[in-house]
Amino acid sequence: MTEVRLRGVSKSFGRVHAVRELNLDVERGELVAVLGPSGCGKTTLLRAIAGFERPDAGSIVVSDEEVAGPGRFVPPERRRIGMVFQDYALFPHLTVTANVAFGLANRPREEREALTRRTLELVGLQHKSSRHPHELSGGERQRVALARALAPEPAVVLLDEPFSNLDATLRAGLRREVELILRDAEATALLVTHDQEEALSLADRVAVMREGRIVQVGAPEEVYVRPASRWAAQFVGEVNVLAGVAHGRGVETELGLFDLRAPASGAVHVAVRPEQLEVRADHDGNAEVVAREFRGHDVLYRLRHEGGRVVLVQLASLELYEVGARVFVRPAPAAVTTVVD
């Protein structure tokens, strides 16, 4: 069942078209990430769903009720959405418990207390319930913000760049934690981020957004492996875009012959991920190592191919090549590529 449905939603600020005729569906219980560079309109999209911005056109439906549409605008307090802000926006004058209970004001007292307690347990903060926000760590604040959004059992939880305020070292752990909390609560969630790793590792589906439009929606692996365009390929991870000539299910490029996911013919460009190339040491090789970025479990090399172009190659860190070494680069076995334009 579709929990959130956007059809033809547009929103401009003066001459800036933040969101253009955008369509998107979020199914119940699903975790969707909107991934795009800063300024692509993703936060405006989120704020339009929450009711903080009024769309210029189009319609927004949240659990079968149209909340924004021609001649119709439901104010945010009646939309059954829970929002987690980038800066958490916790109420500084209230304790953790009172923050979480804020959205439950009109429930009977017993229900309110039970829901608050249950939600605090869900995020593992029952022992900090009487603290004030300024006494909490960044990660704890985030969990309070999440608990506050979840407590009224909203139709959908909206998360605006939820991890950007945290140390890089904490981020991966908290990401997993937040995902588990959302799954435990069986919440429907829409998250916006500019961090592709975050989107790919967290979401059931990723919607790639550019200049106010969604350019691709799909499972994380699909978005990564089959980018819909050259831009999407470049934005979602590292990529080599190579020119080639397609003959049915194969494409001939300057680095060699790759398999094609779908048959094509004529002059094309294909997206080749760095891990789809392989390298061996060769004094008469076709490329030279110009830079090396050691990342622990793998290594990203920049190679200058004899044709003049720089190629990115990702290899396991078992065998290292020095900068300046001659190597031979070619397609990895079974490297299947996608035509990007």
Partner 1 sequence: MKSDGIDAWAILPALLAAAVAAPLVGLPLSYAVAPGALSDFSGLVPEAVGATVVVIAGAGAGTLVLGTALAALVSFCDFPGRGWIEWALVLPLAMPGYVFTLFALGLDLPGIRSSFGAVCVFTLVLYPYVYLLARAAFLAQSRTLLEAARGLGLSRRAAIARVGLPLARPAILGGVALALMEALADFGTVNLLGVPTFTDAIYQVWFIGFDRDAAMQLATLLVSVTLTLLVLERLARGRARYHQLAARGDLTPPVRLRGPAAAAAVVAPLALVGFVVAAPLAQLAAWSIEAVREGLLAPEFATAARNSVLLAAMSALLVPLAAILLAYGARASRSRTAAALARTATIGYGLPGSVVAVAVIVPLSWIERRIDGVAGTGLLLTGTVIGLFYAYLVRFLALAWGAVEASLTRIPRHLDEAARGLGSDRLDVLARVHVPLMRAGLATAALLLFVEVMKELPATLLLRPLGGDTLAIAVWQATTESLFETAALPALLIVLVGLLPVAAMLRLSGRRGAELEATQAAGTWAEELEQPEVVRA
Identify the residue among 74, 170, 241, 332 touching partner 1 (CB under 8 A).
74
* Residue 87 binds to partner 1 (criterion: CB under 8 A): yes
Q: How far is the CB of 22 from partner 1 (least distance, A)?
A: 21
CB 158 within 8 A of CB 84: yes
DSSP 8-state class, residue 238: -
Q: 123 to 162, contacts with partner 1 by CB under 8 A? A: 134, 148-149, 152
Q: How far is the CB of 265 from partner 1 (least distance, A)?
A: 52
Q: How far is the CB of 37 from partner 1 (least distance, A)?
A: 22
Q: Give the whole-angstrom CA distance, residue 27 versus residue 187.
A: 10
Dihedral angle over CA of 191, 193, 199, 204, nearest 10: 20
* Residue 82 binds to partner 1 (criterion: CB under 8 A): yes
Rank residues 163 and 321 by Cβ distance to partner 1 and give the closer one.
163
Rank residues 88 and 258 by Cβ distance to partner 1 and give the closer one.
88
Tell me how far CA of residue 92 lies from CA of 88, 99, 161, in angstroms: 11, 9, 21
Q: Give the whole-angstrom CA distance, residue 93 versus residue 258.
A: 61
Identify the residue among 12, 61, 69, 102 touching partner 1 (CB under 8 A).
102
Binding window for partner 1 (CB under 8 A); candidates: 73-81, 118-126, 188-196, 288-296: 73-81
Q: Give the whole-angstrom CA distance, residue 321 versus residue 239.
A: 20
Measured over all CA atoms, what is the biggest interatomic distance in the chain, rounded to whole angstroms?
79
Q: 270 to 329, contacts with partner 1 by CB under 8 A? A: none
Count the residues of the shown chain that bind partner 1, applying the rule CB under 8 A: 31
* Residue 11 binds to partner 1 (criterion: CB under 8 A): no
Rank residues 135 and 252 by Cβ distance to partner 1 and give the closer one.
135
Q: What angle do CA 57, 60, 61 make, to 5 degrees?
A: 155
Positive or negative: CA dihedral 259, 262, 267, 270: negative
Residue 335, φ and ψ in degrees, nearest 5: -80, 115
At 261, list the tokens.
């996911």
Rank residues 147 and 340 by Cβ distance to partner 1 and give the closer one.
147
215 burial via Cβ count (<10 Å: 0-12, 13-18, 19+)? middle
Rank residues 107 and 304 by Cβ distance to partner 1 and give the closer one.
107
Identify the residue among 14, 15, 38, 105 touching partner 1 (CB under 8 A).
105
Residue 12, φ and ψ in degrees, nearest 5: -120, 150
Q: Where do contacts with partner 1 occur on this chain (CB under 8 A)?
A: 50-52, 54, 71-79, 81-83, 85, 87, 89-93, 102-103, 105-106, 134, 148-149, 152
